[in-house]
Structure 1
């Protein structure tokens, strides 16, 4: 695994991890995390593919975006990253906020995305869930960082404490301004592309943990029902950090996803499955 950087047209620095060779797979993490949050998938997928895991703006070693930004700004950032990497269209997988970015990129710039995976993504939150996530966004914007609260939402008490402690360390080291900016975009982002899911023509995996209270199984099935070639995978017994708590199951799902080729326009699309 090699640590690399690239510069965008804005002169902002993007840090990414690069491993393996072959067809490119690009991974983008969620709020408060960094590229290493995909480490089980990087290790597994790099046996057969070139895996590029990016630090989102204001996370890890990537520089933040300027001003007050929304989900569309992160989508433009992602599209430019893919272009600057100059690897051709990629298989693009995102977790949580990264799932919103990945889906938005597949919609706005379909020529850059071979297939898309939304892992623990969100879609049309309930009014109660929306109010709660907006409260958390406001708390971060006013300088409040409660590490234990997201850990309680993301993990089950029976999850491996080593995994939980590693995630705790990433949360404690994140740049608060970058975290707050991304979280605000995340809080307001669940409806930005919700009506445009039918535009996604490439193979689309929608995966979540059955016990995730915010990126729910119902959301996953709903998203999968809208894509032209989308399907849902729901992993029982796991919550928001399913790629870390059930790495073998997630790795297998991503491996299967990588084998799917796009249907011709005249062929019937896949339905949702669990």
Structure 2
């Protein structure tokens, strides 16, 4: 296993500020740190690349870590209104082309997980390993109706900043720093970029659901035990389908597990990155 950085995940959350960015010709903003095998990090709806601060600090000690702003978030250009998950996956493929990255490890959180899974299903020959953090899979009818209702309300009511915080975090004081950072990022998000991404997220839980059986590399499915939407059952179901899939459940945590349990997540990601192509 390659060594991770020495900065603790908790310290990285507390000290998280704005990261310097570069932009590709196609308008994708990104931050790059470290050297070695490439690892791209894709955040979820309403967030920005700073949401990966603990992972950037830790994993850049042994890898070339590239965190991206998803389209319409942070400083990245928007996709067209009505873009579906397939368009976000195509965006990621173009980003790899612009960065001249042939094969890559990719970790996505929430909507970013859907993009990473779509990439593994669509151009899997370029995806060496995939990590699917707090990602959905075949929502039940009640959950699907709720997320579609939220997506339909955004163009009318705007970005809901309190609902996600209630779903994503518990009331424990240990999550305060991560909760307030998340509140800040939600307040910064572009409303149209948010609406487009959320609509794609709401309708994307089955788009690539049949593709896991063909994903050859190590596939980590990680979520919090108390995540009400990206559930442990979803993680274990996907892990059973992927030839080298496995699930890791972080007990006592919800949706923003990479911020509320950063040291655990960093260790699990380092483990995943250490697996060879014939392992897991």
For 1:31 and 1:38, the matched residues in 2 are separated by 13
- Provide closer, same or farther for how the CA distance between residues 112 and 92 of structure 1 changes in structure 2, counting only shifts above 3 A: same
TM-superposed CA distance for 1:141, in Å, is 2.3
| Counterpart residue number, 2:249 | 234
TM-score, reference length from structure 2: 0.91
For 1:195 and 1:49, the matched residues in 2 are separated by 30
Aligned pair partner of 2:180 in 151, 155, 165: 165
Q: Is 1:177 aligned to residue 195 of structure 2?
A: no
Secondary structure in 1 matching 2:24: strand
TM-superposed CA distance for 1:83, in Å, is 1.4
Q: Is 1:44 aligned to residue 58 of structure 2?
A: yes
The equivalences for 1:1-274 within 5 A come to 2-8=20-26, 13-158=27-172, 159-263=174-278, 270=280
- Provide closer, same or farther for how the CA distance between residues 239 and 125 of structure 1 changes in structure 2, counting only shifts above 3 A: same
Q: Is the 8 A contact 1:2 1:19 kept in 2?
A: no
TM-superposed CA distance for 1:2, in Å, is 4.6
TM-superposed CA distance for 1:124, in Å, is 0.4
TM-score, reference length from structure 1: 0.93
- Report the count of equivalent residues: 261
Secondary structure in 1 matching 2:275: coil
Q: Is the 8 A contact 1:208 1:215 kept in 2?
A: yes
Q: Is the 8 A contact 1:79 1:112 kept in 2?
A: no
Which has the higher mean CA deviation after the structures are superposed, 169-178 or 83-92?
83-92
For 2:40 and 2:108, the matched residues in 1 are separated by 8
For 1:144 and 1:110, the matched residues in 2 are separated by 36
For 1:100 and 1:113, the matched residues in 2 are separated by 14
| Counterpart residue number, 1:266 | none
For 1:39 and 1:231, the matched residues in 2 are separated by 25
Secondary structure in 2 matching 1:32: coil
Q: Is the 8 A contact 1:143 1:176 kept in 2?
A: no
For 1:70 and 1:151, the matched residues in 2 are separated by 25
Q: Is the 8 A contact 2:169 2:175 kept in 1?
A: no
For 1:2 and 1:150, the matched residues in 2 are separated by 27
* Unmatched tracts of structure 1, length 5 or more: 264-268
Secondary structure in 1 matching 2:178: helix
Secondary structure in 2 matching 1:16: strand
TM-superposed CA distance for 1:214, in Å, is 0.2
Alignment RMSD (CA, Å): 1.1
TM-superposed CA distance for 1:174, in Å, is 0.1
